Amino acid sequence: MENKGYLPISHDEMIERGWNYIDFAVVTGDCYVDHPSFGTAIIARQLESLGFKVGIIDRPDTNQSDAFERFGRPRYGFFVGSGVIDSMVLNYTVAKKRRTDDLYAPKNYPIKRPDRALTVFSKMIRKSYPDLPIIIGGIEASLRRFAHYDYWADKVMPSVLVDCEADLLSFGMGEHQTEEIAMRLKHGEKIENITDVRGTCYITKQVDGISGVTLHSYEKLKTDKRAYANDTRVQIEEQDPVTGKRIIQKHGNVYVVQNPPALPLETDELDHIYELPYMRNYHPYYEQFGGVDAIKEVKFSITHNRGCFSACNFCALNFHQGRTVTSRSERSVLEEAKKLTEDPDFKGYIHDVGGPTANFRHRSCHKQLTSGFCRGKRCLAPQRCKNLEVDHSEYLSILRKMRAIKGIKRVFIRSGIRFDYLMADPDRTFFEELCKYHISGQLKVAPEHCSATVLELMGKPYIKSYKEFAKEFYKINGKIKKEQYLVPYLMSSHPGSDLKTAVELSLFLKEQNIRPRQVQDFYPTPGTVSTCMFYTELNPYDMQPVKVPKSPHDKALQRAMLQYFLPQNRELVIEALRKTKRYDLIGNGPNCLIRAGKDTPFINNNTNKNDRRSHNKTNKRSSNKWQNTRKHGRG
């Protein structure tokens, strides 16, 4: 099988390169896609650039005891990840049903990804090579680095480092840690002595002389939800690369010690990482199984930044990639665009020039350079900070120059645009060019909800900012004579939401003439503030109680309200409106959410006159409240 340019994934390919051994094996639960959107490719290519011989153990068959021995014994050790996404999130829906598709492997690929893949892989490696260093990393390691609530087991589980029996855990993006660990192992240092690398966690039996913040023990957190909520807040606060301290957490007779976070890559370092010799495709071995679908969206996309200072409570990026925004140089981004035009499959369309948040190019304020992020505060929510520095000029310059490159027909932006940040820019040039050149008919944005209560718990801005953005969006499109639409991401069942806020969201959608095709139930992933709220029913920042919808039926009711217009949701919508006593929204009037019928209260005459009078008073108050909500633009 021709694989020229790809790193070896088999013993035969290693021999074809003239190697008799490898220095490091890089393990992934995904199939090997040699593209900088995949962490495995970045780490492997970085190690290669440092002069190491690297083999990829892709999608190992854990039913085979020798699954990690395909290259023989590596000289220095294993870097192990489960894949681009936490293996439990990838394997199961929010309803805990097994998924049938895996975008990171061909549809008819014979080897399946195991549950809790990181733990399974590491333990099998330990059996094959008891004395070789094992460094775990990637998002599954980052989010599970401390004792954490696991949604699928419905309990608090220990640090994945303890479960894995690995030597080190590398959290965050990992390039600085990878280089330092690899070079120190090469120079003969023992893995047990490498305990001072920023961005890593290690296990020790003794913490005398180690200074830092001490969390409650794993054993305590299994039974004390207030302690769990407190520790979640501490972990988030100490994630800052400028001010973050060492964190210590006891697990039985050992301690997990997290060193301060790694420093973000500078622009030249980021350029170097993205300019490594990626093949920008999946390994040709997978062609016989139908190819890897995950490449389709990213093959002709460009990442220009990292980090997101928005810090939404439900987003795993906050605890993994971090809030510090760093960006590649204009030169590096444009050179990558020129390379894409040389690909024989390129049709002239750049699918995305983005990142976690497409229109961020720098830190939100200069204070962060020396003082880090403000603790307990956000730059944009619930209202933007007065110190926020808003500037789209550099991003706009890149897009303009990219559009002018020969062979490029269109440049789209498909990763998230932060609309409140865009609206904070008094110069509308970027907004106008976004609408004119960079949207293919629809722009995806994420208001998530409209209720002020829910948005505050999400760490999102008030709905007023979205309304202002939507008004300006359609105004600009009218001006340039384009028919383009907003596609809002919406979330049901987030902690703090109930049927009343679900009804409020339905009315907002009707007012805005939005009929979402898809909605997302809140998914409690490890390491997020929202997951902490889901488990503890407490807000970790003020320790106040939070209502949490947990039963499948409660979630179904809220989800149905977001798509109240679908016939199959009729019974659920009527039930939700009855429970919230919003009978005024059932009928044939223009403000009703659902049409009257034989299954509605008044048509069946099941309500006496006194009850109807009471309902009418309730409806009048609710209607006035909604009118006030519309007037002030807040949920």
* pLDDT in the model for residue 627: 37
- Cα–Cα distance between 323 and 368 in angstroms, integer? 10
Fold for the domain defined by 11-201: Rossmann fold (3.40.50)
Residues 115-170: pLDDT tens digits?
A: 999 999 999 999 999 999 999 999 999 999 999 999 999 999 999 999 999 999 99
Q: Give the per-residue SS3 of 406-463.
A: CCCCEECCCCCCCHHHHHCCCCCHHHHHHHHHCCCCEEEEEEECCCHHHHHHHCCCCH
Give yes or no for residue 235 having a pLDDT over 70: yes
Q: Could you tell me where the beta strands, DSSP code E, fall in 51-162?
A: 54-58, 77-80, 134-136, 148-150, 155-157
Answer for the pair 138, 118: CB distance below 8 angstroms, yes or no: yes
**Dist CA 290 CA 7 (whole Å):** 20
What DSSP string describes 159-217? -HHHHHT-SEEE-SS-HHHHHHHHHHHHTT--GGG----TTEEEEES--TT--SEEPPP
Map residue 232 onto helix, strand or coil: helix
Q: Does the pLDDT value for residue 101 go beyond 80? A: yes
Taking only the tens place, the pLDDT of each residue in 216-234 is 999 999 999 999 999 999 9
pLDDT for residue 365 is more than 60: yes
* Residue 179, burial from CB neighbour count under 10 angstroms (0-12, 13-18, 19+): middle
Distance CA 490, CA 317 (A): 18
Contact status, residue 271 vs residue 285, Cβ threshold 8 Å: no
- Element holding 490 (H helix, E strand): strand 485-492
Q: Residues of the chain with pLDDT > 70: what percent?
A: 94
Q: Is the pLDDT of residue 607 over 60?
A: no
Question: Which segments of 274-393 are extended strands (E)?
Answer: 281-282, 301-303, 305-306, 326-327, 349-350, 352-354
Whether 625 shows a pLDDT value over 90: the answer reads no
Q: What is the DSSP letter of 489?
A: E
Per the structure block, which two tokens stand in for 408? 């490029």
User: Mean pLDDT score of the chain, rounded to an integer?
Assistant: 92
The domain segmentation of the chain, as residue ranges, is 11-201, 444-635
At position 571, the amino acid (one-letter code) is E
Reported as a single tens digit per residue, the pLDDT across 301-320 is 999 999 999 989 999 888 89
Per-residue pLDDT, 2: 53
CA–CA distances in Å: residue 466 to residues 353, 377, 471, 474, 484:
23, 21, 9, 12, 16
Count of CB atoms situated within 10 Å of the CB of 99: 11
pLDDT tens track for 478-510: 999 999 999 999 999 999 999 999 999 999 999
Decide if pLDDT at 621 tops 70: no
pTM, full prediction:
0.91
Cα separation of 258 and 170, whole Å? 10
Closest CA to 177 of 264, 249, 90, 257: 264
Please tell me the distance from the alpha carbon of residue 250 to that of residue 214, in angstroms, as a whole number.
9
Query: What value does the mean pLDDT take over residues 43-68?
Result: 97
Tell me whether domains 11-201 and 444-635 share a fold.
no
Alpha-carbon gap, residue 50 to 232, rounded angstroms: 37
Rounded to whole angstroms, the Cα distance separating 523 from 492 reads 10
Does 605 score more than 60 pLDDT?
no
Alpha carbon 63 to its chain centroid, in Å, reads 30
Confidence of residue 596 (pLDDT cuts 50, 70, 90): confident
357: confidence class by pLDDT, cuts 50, 70, 90: very high
Query: Residue 49 pLDDT > 70, yes or no?
Result: yes
Find the Cα–Cα–Cα–Cα dihedral 424, 428, 434, 435, rounded to 10°. 110
- State the pLDDT at residue 609: 43
- Tell me what pLDDT residue 600 has: 66
Distances (CA, A) of 171 to 318, 327, 598: 12, 20, 57
Answer yes or no: is pLDDT of 619 > 90. Answer: no
Considering only CA atoms, which of 25, 32, 31 is closest in space to residue 47? 25
Specify the pLDDT at position 240.
Answer: 93
- CB-based contact 347:219 (threshold 8 Å): no
Question: According to the CATH classification, is domain 444-635 in 3.40.50.2300?
Answer: no
| pLDDT interval class at 3 (50, 70, 90) | low
Residues forming beta bridges with residue 448, ordered by sequence position: 490
Structure tokens at 60: 């190992």
Backbone angles phi, psi at 570, to 5 degrees: -55, -50
Selection from 455, 431, 454 nearest residue 443 by Cα: 431
Give the mean pLDDT of 46-59: 98
Flag whether pLDDT at 604 surpasses 70: no
